[in-house]
Amino acid sequence: MNKVFFPESVAVFGVSDSPSNLARVIVENLISCGYKGAIYPVGKRGGSLGDRIIYGGIEAVDAVPDLAVLLVPADTIPQTLEGCGKKGIRRVIIETAGFSEFREDRKRLEQSIREIALAWDMKVLGPNCVGIINLDNCLVLPFYPVDAEAVKRGGISFVSQSGGLLHDIMNRASLDNFGLSKLASIGNKLLVDENDVLEFLISDPATQTIGLYLENIRDGRRLMDLAYSTDKPVIMLKANRSQTSRQIAKFHTSALAGDDEVADAGFRQCGIHRPQDLVEMMDWFRIFTLPLMRGPRVFLLARSGGKAVLLADTAQRCGFELATPSESFYDKVRQKVRAGVINLTNPLDLGDLFDIDFYIEIIREASAEEGVDGVVMVHDYAPGVEVAGTQRLVTEAVRISNIHQKPVVLCMVPDKNDWFPMRALADLPLFMDGDTAMKALAVSRDHFRFCSRKTERPRLQGHDRSVRRTGTSPAVHMDTVQTFRLLASYGLPVADHQLIRSEAEAVEAACRIGYPVALKIALPHILHKTEEKGVRLNLGDEQALLTALRDMKGEAFLIQKMAPSGYEVFVGGKRDLEFGHTLLVGLGGIFVEVYRDVALRVAPIDEALALDMITETRGSAILKGFRGSPPGDIDELCRCLVRVSRLLADNPQIVTLDINPLILFHKDEGCLIVDARIEEDAPG
Amino acid sequence: MNKVFFPESVAVFGVSDSPSNLARVIVENLISCGYKGAIYPVGKRGGSLGDRIIYGGIEAVDAVPDLAVLLVPADTIPQTLEGCGKKGIRRVIIETAGFSEFREDRKRLEQSIREIALAWDMKVLGPNCVGIINLDNCLVLPFYPVDAEAVKRGGISFVSQSGGLLHDIMNRASLDNFGLSKLASIGNKLLVDENDVLEFLISDPATQTIGLYLENIRDGRRLMDLAYSTDKPVIMLKANRSQTSRQIAKFHTSALAGDDEVADAGFRQCGIHRPQDLVEMMDWFRIFTLPLMRGPRVFLLARSGGKAVLLADTAQRCGFELATPSESFYDKVRQKVRAGVINLTNPLDLGDLFDIDFYIEIIREASAEEGVDGVVMVHDYAPGVEVAGTQRLVTEAVRISNIHQKPVVLCMVPDKNDWFPMRALADLPLFMDGDTAMKALAVSRDHFRFCSRKTERPRLQGHDRSVRRTGTSPAVHMDTVQTFRLLASYGLPVADHQLIRSEAEAVEAACRIGYPVALKIALPHILHKTEEKGVRLNLGDEQALLTALRDMKGEAFLIQKMAPSGYEVFVGGKRDLEFGHTLLVGLGGIFVEVYRDVALRVAPIDEALALDMITETRGSAILKGFRGSPPGDIDELCRCLVRVSRLLADNPQIVTLDINPLILFHKDEGCLIVDARIEEDAPG
């Protein structure tokens, strides 16, 4: 990928001298932004562009460009690409739109692109994109006019499935004065996808923070592995939340692990930060230009009581602690304060202490305090008179931030005259509002915490063959006895059971198993057995068993040992289109069905992650012993979750798995699986 | 209050010619902003201010000013106020700070202000405030320089407990070009509080939307009555969320109905909209300058696929429906569209259809569609070339919005040159981002829905004597038998029971009541009886009863009829400091304790509200008949809630009430209260 971002020469296809020609704009961008490499405009009608010749074909160019950018009609793409291949060009960006995103039947066109690219071993970005912007070498490839000078160079890089968002990020960065490094539009990601670019950006020394906008995820496991491998913050704006066509709740797991829930869980598991919207993403970019918040203790300052109260409110809502600075800190402040106008507390209401240089002193002293992890100040300043002082405050805040490697966050609403100049003043990004700043700061703190707790973890991608198996063959239900056998083969404790087809077999089986027993219709498609009267519990003797059996319709039945009572737990597995096998756990029955109180992870998991999952559910309060009830055997539950996770890894054909219920007994007494169902790919 | 906002003359106290004098700034503001009434600067050292005389005392003024503004040292306030009284001044704003907000011992000073004000029948705002800004008559009273011309006149008025927020709102309004009418800083609200100002603003014809910033609420019931009485949107930024010093969970209700939960419930009940933070409040101000969203159907347009997807995501997340315009609408669009570049759908991705006038056409046609309740467009435009077109789009959107009385919301990120001019162009407020706009639009829709469903409702304030009873006397527990008697007297079904003190009494009582019975220690302070082994259930005969009795420690016990099994429901009541009596309901046991799944309302409620409450809890799915279980007697539960609400209204001394559990039987089979506790003010 390096040569895609740092080519020494670029050929642009589709150029003409017509004023409405878009490929021309690419060439103009490269020139006006100051790209230093060679530029070869190519267009079948030839001609010239100012003093530059437009080559009639790539053959006419007497060099092999490092990169070709194609903006020619969709149906001429294959032949152009073939030409590039012949010429020896190995990196191509196809900006042309009108492929599968527009009409289903254009998939064939995409297929031929794929074949040509593979034949010539070409890296191809797009189609349907706006290319790349690299501010390191002024490589500016969109087909709309870009003013690269409007944007500062910095550490934020961005990958987008939508060209529009690339434009927008650039625009917003220029307005807010934060620095960008590389932007890549990946369009229909026919060959190069988000992970390829992400991998490059992780290794790119100029990139400090990585943003992504995606509408779908090509390979969630590789994404997770990549994000986990780096300490650079990865911020993901994931769209298409609501388009999940959730299956009708045949399986609990299907209903509980919708596409968006899986994405959410996957992101959390590998430390990807997911904002709700674009504005929030920008706030997070902003906070990550500051040193990380390495702990929970904030010191807060505001120039009005109201703002101080609001700040403290949000601080607590975001899980921060109000720092308690040392007495010597307050002594220093006290010496400066006019008699009796402000209370020395955190948050510090600066009241009518109109001395900006003193604010700087306070911030300096507070940042130096060992018990302070970060400082947030809401600085409402008077337009005009306080501008110079405020400028000092902004530049000093940057210095202090860097010296102590702690974030000093300034919030202010400059007036019209200072709006842009105040932002242009320093690398320190300004927030408009304390609450926004605080919420962003919480992400900085979470990032630090996540990175500092990372452990050696096996790569996810190597542990699942289930990704991208979905969608082709229809799924079928596994027979109950077979399901139980599979579970048992992984050391999962399944209640003693036997398949019977006659009264004689029933009596014999019940005798062997021991009364009381349960009787179930052994049909995989009876889903909520209790509702459909397909199950009879607690049959105490032969008479009860036979009466029940005669009352039921069916050919095959299961006689099963009644489990002693315990906590009902639900364990599920689901193969996700983007992330492969996932694992769920929650208290069974209403807890899952009414409250959707489940924890979800991408499999496989280890015992530590299993315990995390259990603890994450609110219902775990009950397993831990609630109101005097004895605690459940959580250790054994953890071990079972790990076994289920291993079972899923070994069986990529499994679409959905419901273990419901697993009866969890008291501490050290284990558990028993009473019912389970598996849906898998139809054979063949 | 009218004369406070529209005085014909103003005296300003505390003025001197010193450059650091703050009262002087008030006079200068009045003059520079163009206040037309008479201005009388008063300051004990006399002198002059430009060509204006500073009166040495109010006696020297040869008129009685309509309003006095005091900014003199705190300890001289009583005597100045007394002087105002003598002079005949009946409206005073005290801007001086340093009262109870700063030191507890200053409460005495406030008390003397209160007495003087009452003696002279004066309306007094403050102390500790920045006064009023009324753009109707250019009454500008803050003691910091205000540029009233920077702000447009409009329909938004704002009441703030913090002076700093007043300044901030004014500043932000000027930056975003939305129009303000009246701003009032109420400070310590010693005599005039938020409700007095709110009442005035509701009646003020120039005010269309009312914002409030409060740190505490003086009288929640009056606030609710006022908000319910108007269709003007009332937007409340309520701080001090986290300062709730929740009682340790002695009573469930206390833990479940924290101060902030009560405020939330109260606001929802009367249609007050509560934003999370200042930025959200501004977004809501912005949306309410447009016609209301009268239904759920939005039509969405964007210039990039990514933005269209994000818009649709948020629309669905906010509960909107994607409108389906008529075929004739799409026909009109189709005629204009270049062959095969955009798909005609909602959201409409305008792709590379670069024709702003055509966008205006689409918006016009979409707004005229009967099946469209509002239009949102994300307009990312090219700086420079598209500015003129975009200006037309903005002005036309206002026109279309007004013609059809449907919101047309534009989202755009102008570049630096257009940043302020684009905003100044029209009354239509611009959003920076589609998601923000959509969330605000949801509030507009909710407001319309709430107003259109209002019913005749008794005034809350007249129905509760519990407000502001709290805090003085200690609370005591009511005896269980007395509690049951009180409940029964309101027609609430209490399980048959009898207090006993000996084995003989026990046997006799159980005989009368009929086995099986429950036995409980009759001490009010045993709270979770099951945990403390203070209760034995299901005693089937005399022998079992006596064994249980001998095993328990205590002097008095309750023999109680065992209730048949049913759904356990929790009903609670709590007297809130700001809102008076509130009512709670939820499924009992773990539902309440683990999931906090309760509904909360300010009492009294009627049966319709009771049903709302029940439906609001997620656990109600279980009462409605879950997985084949029979439904519970919800009608009877509603009636019981109304009875409890009446009981609370009649008994203002009740601090907390826990009915836990109420056993709800199947439909038409009623319910039974098995346990209940009441905490009330100690007598005397």
Domain boundary among A188, A215, A242: A215
SS3 B585: strand
pLDDT band at residue A249, thresholds of 50, 70 and 90? very low
B171, B172, B278 ranked by CB distance to A435: nearest: B278
Beta strands A535-539 and B234-238, pairing class: unpaired
Q: Report whether pLDDT(A609) > 90.
A: yes
- Extract the tokens encoding B259: 């101060």
pLDDT at position A301, please?
Answer: 94
Residues 6 or more apart whose CB falls under 8 angstroms from that of A655 comprise A470, A475, A574, A575, A679, A680, A681
Domain at A538, CATH number: 3.30.1490.20
Range of lowest pLDDT (A121-130, A143-152, B291-300, B317-326): A143-152
List all residues 6 or more positions away from A577 whose beta carbon is below 8 Å from its beta carbon. A259, A468, A470, A471
CA A89 to chain B, closest CA, distance in angstroms equals 29
Express each pLDDT in A386-396 by its tens digit: 889 999 999 99
User: B60 with B81, same domain?
Assistant: yes
- For residue A313, give the nearest of B240, B343, B622 by CB distance: B240
- Evaluate whether residue A410 is within a structural domain: yes
Name the pLDDT band for A415 (thresholds 50, 70, 90).
confident
Q: Kindly identify which residue of chain B lies nearest to residue A98, measuring between CA atoms.
A: B341
pLDDT tens digits along B450-483: 999 998 877 888 777 776 555 556 788 888 899 9
The predicted pLDDT at position A250 comes to: 45
CB contact under 8 A, B416 and A413: no
Binding-face residues of A in 176-205 toward B, CB within 8 A: none
pLDDT at B354 (0 to 100) = 79
Q: B290: closest CA among B445, B181, B186, B148?
A: B445
Q: Can you give the pLDDT at residue A247?
A: 35
Note whether A104 contacts B: Cβ–Cβ < 8 A: no
CA dihedral A50, A55, A60, A64 (to 10 degrees): 80
ipTM of the complex: 0.89
- Say yes or no for a CB contact (<8 Å) between B590 and A626: yes
Regarding whether A527 and A383 lie in a shared domain, the answer is no
For A562-600, give the DSSP string.
PPPP-EEEEEEEEEETTTEEEEEEEESTHHHHTT---EE
Q: How far apart are CA B658 and CA B677, in angstroms?
A: 5
Q: Which residues of A touch B570 (CB under 8 A)?
A: none
Residues of B in contact with A314 (CB under 8 A): 277
Side-chain-side CA neighbours of B345 within 13 Å: the count stands at: 11
B511, B579: one domain: no
Option in B167, B434, B628 nearest A380 (CB): B167
Query: Average model confidence (pLDDT) for chain B?
Result: 90
Pull the structure tokens for residue B250.
């002695």
Q: What is the pLDDT of residue A97?
A: 87
What does the pLDDT read at residue B339? 47
To the nearest whole angstrom, how far is the Cα of A373 from the nearest Cα of chain B? 21
- Residue B353: which CATH number? 3.40.50.261
Rounded CA-CA distance B588/B536 in Å is: 19
DSSP category for residue B273: B
Of B423, B355, B353, give the one whose Cα is nearest residue B389.
Answer: B355
Q: How far apart are the first and last CA of chain A?
A: 39
pLDDT tops 70 at residue A428: no
Establish, for the pair of chains A and B, how many residue pairs have beta carbons separated by less than 8 Å: 202
A466 close contact with B: CB closer than 8 A: no
pLDDT band at A304 (very low <50, low <70, confident <90, very high): confident
Answer whether residue A257 is part of any domain. Answer: no
Query: Rounded distance, CA A289 to CA A444, Å?
Result: 10
Cα distance from B435 to chain A (closest Cα, Å)? Answer: 6
Task: List all residues 6 or more positions away from A568 whose beta carbon is below 8 Å from its beta carbon.
Answer: A587, A588, A589, A661, A662, A663, A664
**Cβ atoms within 10 A of the Cβ of A245, count?**
6
Residue numbers in B near A241 (CB within 8 A): 313, 316-317
Last residue within a domain, chosen from A516, A545, A561: A561
Q: Give the per-residue pLDDT at B97.
A: 87
pLDDT on residue A461 = 80
Q: What three-state secondary structure class fits A409?
A: strand
The whole-number pLDDT of residue B407 equals 97
Q: Which of A341-345, A466-470, B554-558 has the lowest mean pLDDT?
A: A466-470
pLDDT < 70 stretches in chain B: 242-257, 337-342, 352, 426-428, 467-473, 523-533, 684
User: Residue A584 — pLDDT band, cuts 50, 70, 90?
Assistant: very high
Please choose, from the candidates B224, B393, B208, the residue with its C-alpha nearest in 3D space to the C-alpha of residue B284: B208
Asked if B508 is an interface residue toward chain A (Cβ–Cβ < 8 A), one would say no
Q: Are residues B522 and B670 in the same domain?
A: no
Both A23 and A52 in one domain: the answer is yes
CB contact under 8 A, A310 and B171: no
Q: Write down the pLDDT at residue A27.
A: 97
Residue A244 lies in a domain: no
Using CA coordinates, name the residue in chain A closest to B260. A313
* Contact assignment for B415 to A340 by CB distance below 8 Å: no
More reliable by pLDDT, A157 or A426? A157
Q: Kindly report whether the global pTM for this prediction surpasses the value 0.90.
A: yes
Q: In angstroms, what separates the C-alpha of A464 from chain B's closest C-alpha?
A: 30
Q: Nearest 5 degrees, angle CA B410-CA B412-CA B417?
A: 130
Interhelix angle for B259-270 vs B220-229, to 10°? Answer: 20
Number of domains in chain A: 4
Instruction: Assign B661 to helix, strand or coil.
Output: strand
Q: Cα separations (Å) of A471 from A240, A264, A575, A603?
A: 19, 22, 11, 20
| Cβ-proximal residues to B378 (8 Å cutoff; 6+ apart), any chain | B301, B302, B303, B304, B307, B308, B311, B411, B412, B434
Confidence class for position A626, pLDDT limits 50, 70, 90:
confident
Q: What is the pLDDT of residue A338?
A: 57
Q: Does B415 touch chain A (CB under 8 A)?
A: yes
> Would strands A48-49 and A52-53 be described as parallel, antiparallel, or unpaired?
antiparallel
- List the beta bridge partners of residue A156: A180, A209
pLDDT digits (tens, 9 = 90+) for A518-559: 998 876 555 444 445 678 899 999 999 999 999 888 888 999
CB A581 within 8 A of CB A594: no
3-state helix, strand, coil in chain B (%, to 5): 40, 20, 40
> Has residue B390 been placed in a domain?
yes
* Chain B residues near residue A304 by CB distance under 8 angstroms: 162-165, 167-168
Tell me whether residues B622 and A239 touch, CB distance under 8 A: no
In terms of Cβ atoms closer than 10 Å to its own Cβ (0-12, 13-18, 19+), residue B340 is exposed
Pair B541, B646 in one domain: no
Taking a C-beta distance cutoff of 8 angstroms, is the pair B562, B518 a contact?
yes
> E strands within A371-488?
374-378, 408-411, 475-477
pLDDT, chain A, mean: 90
Residues A640 and A518 occupy one common structural domain: no
A302 in contact with B, Cβ within 8 Å = yes
Task: Quickly state the pLDDT bin for A339 (edges 50, 70, 90).
Answer: very low
- Is residue B345 within 8 Å of B271, Cβ to Cβ? no
In a domain, B489, yes or no: no
CA distance A658 to A678: 7
> pLDDT per residue over A189-212, tens digit each?
999 999 999 999 999 999 999 999
Q: What is the pLDDT of residues A71-114, one digit of tens each?
A: 999 999 999 999 999 999 999 999 998 887 777 788 889 999 99
CB < 8 Å to B528, chain A: 627
Report CA-CA distances (Å) from B128 to B26, B89, B164, B187: 15, 20, 11, 5
A-interface mutation test, from B95, B167, B345, most A Cβ less than 10 A away:
B167
B593 and B527 share one domain:
no
Which tokens belong to B86? Answer: 């003598």
B213 touches chain A (CB under 8 A): yes
Q: What is the CA A337 to chain-centroid distance, rounded?
A: 47
Does A117 fall in a domain? yes
Longest CA–CA separation in chain A, Å: 101
- Check whether residue A546 and residue A602 sit in a common domain: no
Chain B, window 524-583: residues with a beta carbon less than 8 angstroms from a chain A beta carbon = 528, 530-531
- Give chain B positions within 8 Å (CB) of A528: 627
One domain for residues B102 and B145: yes
Greater model confidence, B588 or A265? A265
Q: Cβ contact (<8 Å) for B242 and A313? A: yes
Choose among B383, B384, B420: nearest Cβ to A416. B420
Task: Answer yes or no: do A551 and A571 share one domain.
Answer: no
Residue B268 near residue B225 (C-beta atoms within 8 A): no
- Per DSSP, the residues of B493-519 read -BPPEEEESSHHHHHHHHHHH-SSEEE
Task: List chain A residues with CB under 8 Å of B240.
Answer: 309, 313
Helix, strand or coil, per DSSP, at residue B375: strand
User: Residue B675 is part of a domain; what is its CATH number?
Assistant: 3.30.470.20
Range of the domain at B605: 567-681
CATH of residue B129's domain is 3.40.50.720
Residue A203 and residue A342 in one domain: no
Cβ B592 vs Cβ B602: under 8 Å = no
Residues contacting residue A103 through CB under 8 Å, at least 6 positions apart: none
Give the pLDDT confidence score for residue A373 in this predicted structure: 98
Please say which residue of A525, A542, A561 terminates a domain: A561
Domain membership flag for residue A485? no
| Domain-located, residue B607 | yes
Over the stretch A35-58, which tens digit does the pLDDT of each residue have? 999 999 999 999 999 889 999 999
Q: Reply yes or no on whether the pLDDT at A348 is more than 70.
A: yes
Q: Are B185 and B166 in contact (CB under 8 A)?
A: yes
